[in-house]
Amino acid sequence: MAANIIEVLGSWCCWCFCHRWKIQPEHFKINYLPGQRPNAVYLLYEIRWSRGTIWRNWCSNNATQHAEVNFLENCFKALPSVYCSITWFLSTTPCGKCSRRILEFLRVHPNVTLEIYAARLFRHLDFRNRRGLRDLAMSGVIIRIMDVAVYSYCWKTFVVHEHGKDEYWPQSFASYIFLNWTELHHILWVSEHLKKKE
């Protein structure tokens, strides 16, 4: 009996330790459904270091910083000479101001590559945000809208969920993905067109 209790407690402690950095399912659902417009912006991230290790965690906006700036100033602590690739899974694309801050960061860290997946576009009719996304793309940042496979990966990797509930399929999200993808494609097509003219 005591051995069983110790085994259960040990399994629970291991589960807590492995999942303490993950986000709650309701936070993921509220913030990453492409048809929602929540106030918070979440940023799930992976840092793949040149040594082969991978760091995963998340952050969000706070009272003074958007999620992207929060990551750049508080989560990433590496020398400019370090090689790594960073993948962000954002609940919205960066605003124009954050795009400029990201470009500054990449200039200071020339050995860092950045790939961004976003659940939805942030105020995409605002020319400053459109220009920010184009500037990122022209500087080599890969920007994509999250598709079903990416949603599934994020759910399995970054979300605390009960055993047996490791699949997540948002209802009626395909049309939102398509609409966001189409608009992003149009925004980035302009940057591709400009690159070809240079």
Sign of CA dihedral 151, 29, 68, 189: positive
What count of Cα atoms within 13 Å lies in the side-chain half-sphere of residue 180?
Answer: 25
Given strand 54-60, what is the order of strands in its sheet?
A: 54-60, 42-49, 84-90, 112-118, 142-145
Active site residue 104: no
Residue among 141, 132, 133 nearest 107 (CA): 141
Sign of CA dihedral 23, 96, 185, 178: positive
CA angle at 153 for the pair 149 and 158, rounded to the nearest 5° = 150
Q: Position 157: which residue type?
A: T
Catalytically annotated residue among 7, 26, 46, 68: 68
Sign of CA dihedral 108, 109, 115, 117: negative
The DSSP string of 55-120 is EEEEEE--SS--HHHHIIIII----TT--EEEEEEESSPPPHHHHHHHHHHHHH-TTEEEEEEESS
Q: What are the catalytic residues? A: 68
